[in-house]
Structure 1
Amino acid sequence: MSYILEVNQLTKSYQSGQKKLTVLSDINFALESGKSLSIVGPSGSGKTTLLGLCAGLDVIDEGSVTINGQDLSLLSEDQKAQIRNENVGFVFQNFQLIPTLTALENIMIPLELLGDNGAIQKSMELLDQVGLSNRKNHYPTQLSGGEQQRIALARAFSNSPKILFADEPTGNLDEETGEKIEKLLFDLNREKGTALVLVTHDIELAHKTDHLLRLKGGKVLESNMLSKTLA
């Protein structure tokens, strides 16, 4: 079986004054290529920290995270950035579009980082897929929240990622718009064959994924994940 993401004995702590605060403790799971996972739990349970570690955005204290066969703990920051550019897409709650760039230019960023000569054509195709080809020259401030998140989704898929990390992708949207973004996210994920790791407070959304990982106090409270240590 092919795993796109493997997490083994992952632990993360921060220094808080004189005390050491452990936010994640001994996390273990493996996600198959093309499958989806929701990470749920109360605020402060370590969801976003786990997502950041899985994506190579933070430094691991103990244990390992492997993306597409590459152990991130063995790589330099530049090497981790290269792994992200080639394998990973991101969607955030607050969209994180660059305000001085148009919708089209925002989508093109990952492709330009990879030196892709077909960046404009591929980005236009993605704009069309998310239904916003008529908004290509609009800046983020000229777009609604739902439109901004659709642009963010198109950008996330522009480098043909093997895995997509999404942190509360519908958290800033009204219910109707959020449902449309959910459908678009799952449709694109299925069409592109991309694995998905989703942090959400929305239990209804979480149950739409293949697997669920529930955290509490930085530890796994419930899991139906494939793992070397978890049933």
Structure 2
Amino acid sequence: MVKILNVKNLEKTYFSGSKSLNILKDISFSVEAQETFAIVGPSGSGKTTLLGLCAGLDRPNSGVLELCGTDISKLSEDQRAKLRNEKVGFIFQDFQLLPTLTALENVAVPLELQGDKKAIVNATSLLEKVGLGNRLDHYPSQLSGGEQQRVALARAFSNKPDILFADEPTGNLDTETGDKVINLLFDLNKEIGTTLVIVTHNIELAQKTNHILKLKGGSVVENIKLT
């Protein structure tokens, strides 16, 4: 299988004055195309930092990080932004919807910015798939947490990304709502053929994936392929 994400000897250290904090230490792993992959570990283990590096939102201090066949550690910020726009989707714990836009607009605007002439039609179709066909004109403040995350799901899949990064996608949801969102996430992922990388504290969620990477203290302590 093709490796869509390849990480070798990754290090991330933050500096403050004369002090340094080594967040990630010699991290190596790879993710195959269309794999579902979970990054787990206790709070402070470096999960979210690692996700941000893999998605090109931040730079490592050293190591190789290949995303969609490109060594992103060597790209400029503009080049990384272009790669993210074309190849990458995101889902965040706090939804990150634009409060002044309706559900439909939150999904359609990114498509319009990419020149999609059927942005409204395609956004409507995605929202119908996540069960929000009757909530198109509602603003985020008029939607429940679960509904907001379903809008975020539709938006994340709107550009049919090669890889989607989800950071604690059920962290702000109750168990029942979270389960519904996860089922939708996996269903859409399978339908579109995206690679899914999830950071989660939820072991049950992690066990739904093909592959689990466990961090502790900024280091890999387990790398288990389940299927």
> Which of the five TM-score ranges fits, normalised by the shorter chain?
over 0.9
Q: Which segments of 5 or more consecutive residues in structure 2 lack a partner in the other structure?
A: none
TM-score normalized by the length of structure 1: 0.95
Residue 107 of structure 1 and its aligned partner are, at CA, apart by 0.6
> Where in structure 2 are the equivalents of 1:7-156 lying within 5 Å?
7-156=7-156
How many Å separate the matches in 2 of 1:74 and 1:16? 24
Secondary structure class of the residue paired with 2:148: helix
Could you tell me which amino acid in structure 2 is paired with residue 191 of structure 1? Answer: E
Deviations 1:115-141 (A, max 9, x none): 221211110110110010111111000
Could you tell me which amino acid in structure 1 is paired with residue 124 of structure 2? Answer: M
How many Å separate the matches in 1 of 2:221 and 2:31? 18
Q: Which segments of 5 or more consecutive residues in structure 1 lack a partner in the other structure?
A: 226-231
Pairwise CA RMSD: 1.2
Residue 113 of structure 1 and its aligned partner are, at CA, apart by 2.7
Residue 20 of structure 1 and its aligned partner are, at CA, apart by 1.1
Q: How many residues align?
A: 226
Deviations 1:107-164 (A, max 9, x none): 1232123222121111011011001011111100000000000000000000000101
How many Å separate the matches in 2 of 1:21 and 1:105? 41
| Matched residue, 1:175 | 175
Q: Does 1:212 align with 2:212?
A: yes
Task: State the identity %.
Answer: 64
Secondary structure class of the residue paired with 1:27: strand
Secondary structure class of the residue paired with 2:43: coil
Deviations 1:8-59 (A, max 9, x none): 1111000134211110011111111100110000100000000000000011
Secondary structure class of the residue paired with 1:205: helix
How many Å separate the matches in 1 of 2:113 and 2:51? 23
Secondary structure class of the residue paired with 2:23: strand
> Which runs of at least 4 in structure 1 moved beyond 2 Å after TM superposition?
none
Residue 70 of structure 1 and its aligned partner are, at CA, apart by 1.1
| Matched residue, 1:228 | none
